[in-house]
Amino acid sequence: MDRTDVEFLSGSQRCAAWLYRPDGGPETVPLVVLGHGLGLNREAGLDKYARRFVAAGMAAMIFDYRHFGASEGEPRQLLDIKKQREDWHAAISYARDLPGIDPHRIALWGSSFGGGHVLTVAHQDPTVAAVVAQCPFTDGIASAIALGPVSATKVTLLALADTVGSFLGRPPIKAALAGRPGQAALMAADDVVPGYGRLARESPLYQPDVAARIGLHVVTDAPGRAASDLTMPVFFAVCDKDTVAPAEATVKAASRLPNAVVKRYPVGHFDIYYDDAYETAVADQTQFLVDALHP
């Protein structure tokens, strides 16, 4: 298979992406757009998913959100929910215009925070053919409860200070992405630092913190409710031991969808990216996409 560097515009800024095409096969193929979770970029563990999908006869594209990775956007590490979803729509539009890609068979694959994005984006664009949401963020309140009161309070104080500073034109005040229980981090649990760290080490462009203002917006976001009227096939990969995106919130969201496929794995939020859990999940996801995107 072939992987090339490509780029597309989202607003006035450039998003960097990798485009994968299968060797040989039909003249026109479906394509899976992949995006990552909270604060991560395309280098952190997503290449192996794209290659498995391409080996099954699909094309794939992994992109970096604006302000992250190899994409443009200042200040760096600005996590804006609305802008990231605009990036998804821009990626879909770009993919649909690619030669050799069937514009009617575009699927979305998102993990963690990106898993929430794909549910909302598919709600906004019902022509999306299929969705895979891996360990998805579906309910901000559930995730805030999982974060714990001490960490949540510390993050909120940082977020308030950063928001005020942004109105005054000051540089962002940062909040850590990963921490131990009780620390001022957007994700704080016993398995977060080693699990998230394993992913982050794969990316030379990774930075460990983001503008803290996102802490005021995550709690009010609920992609699971926004996705209640999706009609395309949706695959939910649920981690039963998830300390970041609680499993029951995701299962509840999936129960509202008529074409949902739910697979539950006895692992934590970060375990699904590696080893036996990854092999099982990616095989399930690949079969789902092959079935959903069949001509």
3-state percent helix, strand, coil for the chain, nearest multiple of 5:
40, 25, 40
For position 2, what pLDDT does the model report?
Answer: 81
Domains in the chain: boundaries = 2-143+222-292
Q: Which amino acid is at 158?
A: L
Q: Which residues contact 274 (CB under 8 A, 6 or more apart)?
A: 198
Residue 1: what pLDDT? 66
pLDDT of 14 strictly over 90: yes
Query: CA dihedral defined by 112, 116, 118, 124, rounded to 10 degrees?
Result: -170
- pLDDT at position 80 over 90: yes
Structure tokens at 123: 């709600």
Distance set, CA 202 to CA 171, 175, 199, 222 (Å) = 28, 21, 6, 29
pTM of the model: 0.95
Whether the predicted pLDDT of 284 surpasses 80: yes
CA distance 109 to 237: 11
pLDDT digits (tens, 9 = 90+) for 135-194: 999 999 999 999 999 999 999 999 999 999 999 999 999 999 999 999 999 999 999 999
The arithmetic mean of pLDDT across residues 222-231, rounded, is 89
If one counts every other C-beta atom within 10 angstroms of the C-beta of residue 55, the result is: 13
Distance CA 90, CA 87 (A): 5
- 25 torsion bin: left (phi>0), alpha (psi -120 to 50), beta (else): left
Give the architecture (CATH level 2) of 2-143+222-292. Answer: 3-Layer(aba) Sandwich (3.40)
Q: What angle do CA 144, 249, 38 make, to 5 degrees?
A: 50
Mean pLDDT, the chain, as a whole number? 96
